[in-house]
Homo-oligomer: A and B are copies of this chain.
Amino acid sequence: MRFETSTIKDIAKALGLSTSTVSRALRDRYEISEETKKLVLAYAEKVNYRANPIARSLKERRSYSIGIIVSEIANNFFSQVINGIESIAYDKDYHVIISQSHESYKQEKLNVDHLASRSIDGLLIALSSETQDIDYLRDLYAKGLPIVFFDRVPEDFETHKVIANNFKGSFDATEHLILSGKRTIAHLTNSENLSITKERLEGYKAALVKYHIEFRPELVKYCQHGGMHSAELEQAVKELLPLKPDGIFISSDRLTTGCIMALKKTNPEVAHKIAIAGFTNSNLVELFSPSLTSVKQPAFEMGQVATELLISMIEAKRPVTEFETKVLDTELVKKR
């Protein structure tokens, strides 16, 4: 607070009380006479007193704020998750600080360090597609920082996690393509080391197995940058088309929109012939690709659940030892 505001001291002086009395009245904590409490509250209201959270943070050694790390806020899925996070956090008087990793490990680490040093009380994080080494998170966790992972989670890290039922979502989407008569189904997906990539690949494979369709590795294309660079997608499309796929199952929001763009740009004549099913939370996309089937993730809910878990860790009297991995169901929205 760089500019003038009234403090507890001001109120105390004005009312002829001590700062501790004022503090108690404001916090309604220790026993205090109704009378003086009312007096203080009334005066505080009058001068529009706002407690200085910086001072409070320093004293209490906590900040009432939680950090969020996502790869991109310009991603329908993540912005919906963030809305879910905010809905719970604000309700419980926590502030949120959003940071973007832009799918870069270096940036992710930088942001986390920054947040940690800025005294966040807990961290909600979806790993970047580059991230493989999470020792820096382990250190922070060991030092006492509560962490909850969502969507993109590590395997070997004992804490709460919230994910979608990626296996089932992928299975359903692939099955839908198969039931529509498709037989050569490609799979366009994220970086190989993301948890969601692995889980979704398994769901895709399982559907193929069920319908006795051979799994062909060359039909699977990985995009390291999650479709942020159009060149990456155009390259994938270019490699895929000679294999004559009649369907594509796509593993993320950005990839789905990006792939449709790449198809229309590089091969408009075949674009409409290929059925697409993809993880996407964007309403827009569905409309334009008539045969697009989307796997909707409960993004808002994922944000809510993750935040509730995090806050429970933050406010727990002693370290949590029982962890859970919440798995939320996806919804298949079929189009024509």
Contacts and interface: CB of A to CB of B under 8 A. Distances in A.
A82 B75 CA distance: 14
Interface string A48-83: 001111110110011100000000111010011011
B284 A2 contact: no
Interface string A253-270: 000010011001100000
A260 B285 contact: no
A1 B86 contact: no
A2 B144 contact: yes
A118 interface: yes
A95 interface: yes
A3 B145 contact: yes
Contacts of A33: none
A4 interface: yes
A53 B121 CA distance: 14
B285 A261 contact: no
A327 interface: no
Contacts of A257: 284
A119 B1 contact: yes
Contacts of A287: 260-261, 264-265, 288
Contact of A117 (B53, B58, B261): B53
A62 B281 CA distance: 39
A149 B28 CA distance: 39
A119 B4 contact: no
3 tightest CB-CB pairs across the interface, nearest first?
Answer: A3-B144, A74-B79, A288-B288
Interface of A: 1-5, 50-55, 57-58, 61-63, 72-74, 76, 79-80, 82-83, 86, 95, 97-98, 100, 113-114, 116-119, 121, 140, 143-145, 257, 260-261, 264-265, 283-285, 287-288
